[in-house]
């Protein structure tokens, strides 16, 4: 956009046009002036200070006007009402700017209640007082809600797709058997059983997600052998991996015993290991290594995927609900975006953590669990 420049005076050469960089600075200054006109008081870091200045300014102007009016010989019955009107006008002008972000937040909240999460509070973004901080926090909340709403929509679409596939297969097999086209042989019945297992797994995911949103779940703590637990967790994953050629290398100390809920921990390790397999190219290796931290009383397990990398800025986002990773060529991501979120939830129930730690070998998911968890009954 060209700048508005004054016409050169006669006898003087026209000035050269400013570069685009200066134009951007001018536009930024114009925007700041517009924001200042909308909200004249906003440069201070405290709303109390701004209100104090506003009251002091109005009082001072009212005092000066009243003094001049009386000095000019005006009647007090005329000078005092006029002074009050001027003071109220000044107060209203500045107060209107102070409350402008609050009105925008009210309108934005009403729009969000109707399902529109794209609205933002534009004024007071540069203000340093409490109203400006509230406006920025409101915008951050709106962005998070918009992201969650979009992810939820994607999740519904993904779940619908995941449900349609096994249901359609079951319907076709049962209809063929009912029509006599296909005999109820063990192989056909096994196919029906496989589809029902897929449905059960998906329903289990949704039930776990409802528990996550509820914020709690019951645990049945019992002692168990960790090496046997990992073997029992890995075996079905190796079978499900099929012909992808992945090698799962397990390095777990023998006779390592700990306490926990085996069912919840099975969800944790199954989701983490399955995620590593899903994002590894065919023919690569997945490492599972465990050691005990005696000082902290924890058992630390690292699940290392040699075939992929996770950017540092995305290492925490992948644990958010409905967020799906992008698979490498030949891997495919799929899923509902709930697995890692459920894994972190299951670890948190035991007082543990799941994080992605730096590792030159690849994506390294570190699971740290207390050897003897202390669970709050409440």
> pLDDT by residue (tens digit) across 186-219?
887 887 887 787 788 777 767 766 666 665 566 7
CATH architecture of 222-324+336-370: 2-Layer Sandwich (3.30)
Portions of the chain given CATH number 1.10.287.130: 153-214
Is 59 a residue whose pLDDT tops 50?
A: yes
**Statement: residue 225 has pLDDT above 90:** yes
Q: How far, in Å, CA of 200 to CA of 198, rounded?
A: 5
Angle CA 61–62–63, to nearest 5? 90
Cα dihedral value 333, 338, 340, 341, nearest 10? 150
User: Cβ(248)–Cβ(273) under 8 Å?
Assistant: yes
Q: Is the pLDDT of residue 30 over 90?
A: no
- Report the alpha-carbon distance of residue 4 to residue 27 in Å, rounded: 11
CATH topology of domain 153-214: Helix Hairpins (1.10.287)
Residues 295-335: tens digit of each pLDDT: 999 999 999 988 677 777 766 767 766 555 555 444 444 45
Q: Is 80 exceeded by the pLDDT of residue 5?
A: no
Strand partners, 248: 286
For 44, the 3-state DSSP assignment is: coil
pLDDT surpassing 80 at residue 183: yes
């Amino acid at each position: 956009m060209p700048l508005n420049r004054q016409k050169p005076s006669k006898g003087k050469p026209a000035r050269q046009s400013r570069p685009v960089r200066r134009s951007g600075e001018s536009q930024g200054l114009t925007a700041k002036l517009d924001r200042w006109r909308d909200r004249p008081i906003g440069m201070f870091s405290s709303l109390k200070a701004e209100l104090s200045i506003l009251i002091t300014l109005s009082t001072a102007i009212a005092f000066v006007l009243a003094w001049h009016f009386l000095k000019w010989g005006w009647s007090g019955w005329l000078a005092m009402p006029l002074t009050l009107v001027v003071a109220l006008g000044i107060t209203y002008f500045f107060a209107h700017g102070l409350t402008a972000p609050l009105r925008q937040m009210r309108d934005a909240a009403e729009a969000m209640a109707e399902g529109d999460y794209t609205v933002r509070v534009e004024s007071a973004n540069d203000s340093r007082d409490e109203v400006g901080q509230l406006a920025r926090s409101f915008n951050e909340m709106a962005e998070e809600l918009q992201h969650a709403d979009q992810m939820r929509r994607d999740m519904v679409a993904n779940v619908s797709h995941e449900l349609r596939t096994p249901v359609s297969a079951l319907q076709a097999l049962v209809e063929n058997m009912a029509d006599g086209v296909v005999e109820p042989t063990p192989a056909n019945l096994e196919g029906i059983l496989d589809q029902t297992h897929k449905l059960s797994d998906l329903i289990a995911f949704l039930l776990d997600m409802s528990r996550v949103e509820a914020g709690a779940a019951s645990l049945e703590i019992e002692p168990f052998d960790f090496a046997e637990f990992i073997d029992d967790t890995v075996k079905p994953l190796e079978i499900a991996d099929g012909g992808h050629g992945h090698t799962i290398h397990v390095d777990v100390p023998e006779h390592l015993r700990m306490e926990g809920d085996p069912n919840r921990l099975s969800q944790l390790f199954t989701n983490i290991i399955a995620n590593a397999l899903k994002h590894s190219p065919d023919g690569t290796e997945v490492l599972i290594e465990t050691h005990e931290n005696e000082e902290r009383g924890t058992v630390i397990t690292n699940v290392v995927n040699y075939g992929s990398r996770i950017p540092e800025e995305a290492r925490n986002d992948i644990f958010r609900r409905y967020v799906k990773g992008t698979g490498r060529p030949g891997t495919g991501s799929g899923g509902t975006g709930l697995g890692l979120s459920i894994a972190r939830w299951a670890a948190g129930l035991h007082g543990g953590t799941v994080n992605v730690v730096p590792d030159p070998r690849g994506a390294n998911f570190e699971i740290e669990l207390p050897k003897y968890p202390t669970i709050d009954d409440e």
